[in-house]
Amino acid sequence: MRVATPYRHPISGIYYFRRAVPEALRLRLNKTIIKVTLGTRNPNEAIQLFAARQIECEELFNAARNRCITNYHKSLFSVNRGSSDYQLQEGVTLQYLFDKLNQEREVSGKTIDEAQKVIGRFSGVYKDIDAEGINGTIIREFKELLIKTPSILSDELRSLTLVQIVKEAGSEYSGRTLSDSAINKHLSVISSVLQWAANNSYFSNNWHNPVRGKTIKRKGLKQDRMPFTEVDLHKIFSSDIYTKQSRPKGGCGEAAYWIPIVGLYTGMRLEEIGQLLITDIKQESDIWYFDINDSGGKQLKNKSSIRRVPIHQNLLDLGFIDYIDSLEGMQLFPLLKKDKYGKLTQNWSKWFGRHIRRIGITDKSKVFHSYRHGLKDALRNADVDEAISDAITGHSSVSVGRSYGSGYNLIILNKAVQSVNYDIELK
């Protein structure tokens, strides 16, 4: 006769109590098997806890046979959370908890999709592991896989698990891997789901978050975004787009030409530029300016993003107003199309990233947002007051007093913008 013993999970090392429910009681208990965590990795402790659960289980079965299940009997095993119906608890997966969390919170579709990718990557490696059994060892293993994961995946690799992706890439892979911030974002998603589960009584009282202290911070100073150097700017504005009137398909026609120049002299965020309408280009007292607003369904980062930004004379000299006059319709860059999240510039951003790498700007800290950093530097070099600089770029002020009033007038802003100078030739 086989003696019942605790079951040890092969990945987490956590011991479980498992017991088949007698067939005659399955309908009454609405369960075919009882599975509950013993909450320990110590085999001796698990044996003692297992024996206690055996006794409790028999009490439950006898109560069910006698049709006298009480709250006491129910408390012998965890009840189904959030439900008045009694059910014996089985281990819950990270995916299950993630789905439950999303039912409670109103989050944007993009945020959910990105988090789901993280959950999917984790589940692809650790299958149906009980979420409470996720320990520090598992998190460390997962992090080590992420460190070796290429940042850009082919269609073939996208269908594989992380283990398979890393194996296919090989130990000699020399391409870009996931950044520290991307890795930490993965860990943060898992940590948030687990912590929510603990706060909502899905785990035992002695549970500790295994992600805590596991974020990555590799040695060396790092800035997420660096401004373009003069050498970089020469490479960008001497490319075929500006010297041979090339208009790559991914650049969306004239957007390939104008968006980088607008970014250079305004420091506007990419989506702010992409969603501009013809009616957002205005003139007051001979000063042309961008009216950045949230009308017509535009999406801005915050209240400070609503602002007026004078148009630099170099844009005007290049024929920017003539370009606007040539347009039909409402959009300033009509070939930009919204993605499934409603963003107009997501695909254009990917094209721009490929474009600058192709012309020799290989530093991954340099992206379109580098124009924004560059303008801040250019304004400082022109001795423009930081508060005026913030008003131009739409940065939130740390001073409460600065939020009072209607802000700087257009003449002051225009003087600051026109002071910006780059040692490059635009065509």
Helix H, strand E, coil C: the string for 195-230 is HHHHHCCCCCCCCCCCCCCCCCCCCCCCCCCCCCCH
**In this structure, are residues 416 and 382 in contact, taking their beta carbons and an 8 Å threshold?**
yes
Residue 26's contacts (CB-CB under 8 Å, 6 or more residues apart) are 32
Each of the 427 residues of the chain gets a pLDDT tens digit; together they read 456 788 887 767 788 888 888 887 777 777 777 878 888 888 899 898 898 888 888 888 887 777 665 555 555 554 333 333 333 444 578 888 888 888 877 666 778 888 899 999 998 888 778 888 888 888 988 998 898 888 877 777 778 888 888 887 765 555 678 888 889 999 999 999 999 988 888 887 778 899 988 887 765 544 567 899 999 999 999 999 999 999 999 999 999 999 999 999 999 999 999 999 999 999 998 999 999 999 888 888 888 899 999 999 999 999 999 999 999 889 999 999 988 778 899 899 999 999 999 999 998 889 999 999 999 999 999 999 999 999 999 987 544 444 544 578 999 999 999 999 998 888 8
What is the residue type of 247? R
Q: Which domains does the chain possess?
A: 7-75 (no CATH), 94-199 (no CATH), 230-418 (1.10.443.10)
Which element (helix H / strand E) includes 307?
A: strand 307-310
For residue 18, give both structure tokens: 């498992």
Question: Within 10 A of 41 (CB to CB), how many other CB atoms are there?
Answer: 15
The predicted pLDDT at position 83 comes to: 33
Q: Is 10 helix (H, G, I), strand (E, B) or coil?
A: coil
Residue 158's contacts (CB-CB under 8 Å, 6 or more residues apart) are none
For residue 301, give both structure tokens: 């980062």
**How many angstroms separate the CA atoms of 54 and 139, rounded?**
32
Map tokens 């605790």 to a residue: 6
**How many angstroms separate the CA atoms of 30 and 287, rounded?**
75
For residue 384, give both structure tokens: 């423009």
Question: Within 10 A of 111 (CB to CB), how many other CB atoms are there?
Answer: 13
- Under the phi-then-psi rule, with left for phi > 0, alpha for psi from -120 to 50, and beta for the rest, what region is 293? beta
| Partner residues linked to 425 by β-bridges | none
The closest alpha carbon to 36, from 82, 64, 75, belongs to 75
Question: Considering just the CA atoms, what is the radius of gyration of the chain in Å?
Answer: 30
The closest alpha carbon to 72, from 62, 81, 82, belongs to 62
**How many angstroms separate the CA atoms of 112 and 151, rounded?**
20
| Partner residues linked to 288 by β-bridges | 283
The predicted pLDDT at position 291 comes to: 95
**In this structure, are residues 357 and 373 in contact, taking their beta carbons and an 8 Å threshold?**
no
**How many angstroms separate the CA atoms of 41 and 344, rounded?**
51
The predicted pLDDT at position 174 comes to: 56
